[in-house]
Amino acid sequence: MNIDDLNKARAFDLNAIDADFINDPFPTLKLLRDHSPVHRNLDGSVYLTRYNDVKAVYQSKVMSSDKKQAFGEKFGKGGLYTHHTTSLIFNDPPYHTIVRKLLSSAFTPRKLAEMEPLIKNIIDNLLDQLEEEQEFDFIEAYASKLPTEIISFMLGIPEQHRSRLRGYSMAILGALDPVISDERMQAGNEAVDEFGALLDDLINHRRNNPDGAGEGEVLESLIFGEFNGKKLTQKELVQNCIFLLNAGHETTTSLVGNALATLLDNPDEFSKLKANPDLIESAIEEVLRFQSPLQIGNRLALEDFELNDTVLPAGTYIHTSIAGANRDPAVFTDPEKFDISRKPNRHLAFIAGIHVCLGATLSRLEGKAAIGQLVQRFPDIQATGTGELNPLARFRGYNKLPVRIGG
């Protein structure tokens, strides 16, 4: 055993990470997996980096997603606290079950089948615009556009408001990073207030015009839907719609951006995809594994929890490294290699258990179509500069990715 590596792993603290970790967390995750897989941070929380440990936590019934206490300490009172403690993702049953059931109506196979031609159409139009521009920032011009259009369509967000959604989303989700500045906190609170006011108006309008929903729109079923005699209150509706919008576009933007960036960094794999378009499905799965848009999750142990030889006592706050799990050599052969034909590929990018991503099928559809159609139409796409990652540990994706489509 290498003592330096062991000491480095032991000295790691998730609450004191720096830009190097954010840029390239993978060497540190390997160190932790090898030398400190159930790693204690200075504040007593635990950081898990092995696949089986992360999965066991997600599948356990004694793990809570309720963050009222942690968010109360972190955010105080204000929009961020209201938002994150009302979203289904940070709640346990029975509230979680009710909201999930109501939101699920948006993701039935029938609704998703309706989406496919819409997705294809939006992409064709976007690609037409790219052809005119030739040289552009891939994230702004393409990756962020499709998911925003899709989720706005599902919730009936009018055209004129759509350009603001990504800024709101980054401000709200950015505040979830382990360490945040006062500016980031303020930006997050303001984003919840502004975005909330917009949705409040929209929901009131739909309440007064119950028959005004367009084809494929799901806001109506969230407003009027009922599960076990319970309807969502206005606050629950507003905050869960904000959540759906955020969940639905930032992660998918990252998936599309990470896919192109990783393909450009791995020209052999890119050539393989160009020669075999049928590999698009497994290529998207590999991007989800290799550059997971959501890298870190959290749970609180409500009871003592046994993990191999260690018992995590009730009350332990657990950080799950999705990124670490997805490169665990115990599950993935040659895990640091980007291999678009990898099979099987049971990554945890959408996690497992009762909070498993509700939008997994939709985002796979979007990712497949966005990259598949792009590569077919512009196979010579190439980088014109270095991509710029978001400065966030939890969400891995690009802020900027300059490219040119010509040869």
- For ligand HEM, the binding residues (CB under 6 A) are 65, 88-89, 100, 103, 151, 244, 247-248, 251-252, 255, 293-294, 297, 349-351, 355, 357-359, 362-363
Which residue's CB is nearer to ligand HEM, number 192 or number 370? 370
Residue 151 CA to residue 147 CA, distance in Å, equals 6
Structure tokens belonging to residue 75: 């955010």
Least distance (Å) from ligand HEM to the CB of residue 304? 21
Structure tokens belonging to residue 26: 């993978």
Which residue's CB is nearer to ligand HEM, number 9 or number 53? 53
Which residue's CB is nearer to ligand HEM, number 316 or number 405? 316
Which residue's CB is nearer to ligand HEM, number 109 or number 407? 109
Which residue's CB is nearer to ligand HEM, number 39 or number 394? 394
Structure tokens belonging to residue 375: 């590569």
Question: Three-state SS for 224?
Answer: helix
Least distance (Å) from ligand HEM to the CB of residue 404? 26
Least distance (Å) from ligand HEM to the CB of residue 397? 10
Which residue's CB is nearer to ligand HEM, number 342 or number 368? 368
- Amino acid type, 78: G
Largest CA distance in the chain: 68
Q: What is the DSSP letter of 347?
A: -
Which residue's CB is nearer to ligand HEM, number 358 or number 381? 358
Least distance (Å) from ligand HEM to the CB of residue 78? 22
Residue in 165, 374, 349 with CA at minimum distance from that of residue 250: 165
Which residue's CB is nearer to ligand HEM, number 174 or number 293? 293
What's the chain's length in residues? 407
Structure tokens belonging to residue 263: 């393909």
User: Residue 275 contacts by C-beta under 8 Å, 6 or more apart in sequence?
Assistant: none
Residue in 50, 84, 48 with CA at minimum distance from that of residue 65: 84
Least distance (Å) from ligand HEM to the CB of residue 251? 3
Which residue's CB comes closest to ligand HEM? 359
Least distance (Å) from ligand HEM to the CB of residue 255? 4
Least distance (Å) from ligand HEM to the CB of residue 169? 12
Which residue's CB is nearer to ligand HEM, number 93 or number 212? 93
Least distance (Å) from ligand HEM to the CB of residue 340? 16
Residue in 328, 261, 325, 256 with CA at minimum distance from that of residue 295: 325
Question: Three-state SS for 227?
Answer: strand
Least distance (Å) from ligand HEM to the CB of residue 380? 26
CB 216 within 8 A of CB 121: no
Structure tokens belonging to residue 203: 């929901």
Q: What is the DSSP letter of 384?
A: S
Least distance (Å) from ligand HEM to the CB of residue 3? 35
Structure tokens belonging to residue 265: 């960094």
Which residue's CB is nearer to ligand HEM, number 130 or number 284? 284
- What are the backbone angles phi and psi of residue 172, rounded to the nearest 5°? -75, -45
Q: At what angle do helices 267-275 and 234-265 cross, to 10 degrees?
A: 100
Which residue's CB is nearer to ligand HEM, number 10 or number 68? 68
Residue 282 CA to residue 328 CA, distance in Å, equals 19
Place of tokens 């790693």: 39
Least distance (Å) from ligand HEM to the CB of residue 266? 19
CB 393 within 8 A of CB 295: yes
Q: Is 128 exposed, middle or buried (0-12, 13-18, 19+ CB in 10 A)?
A: exposed
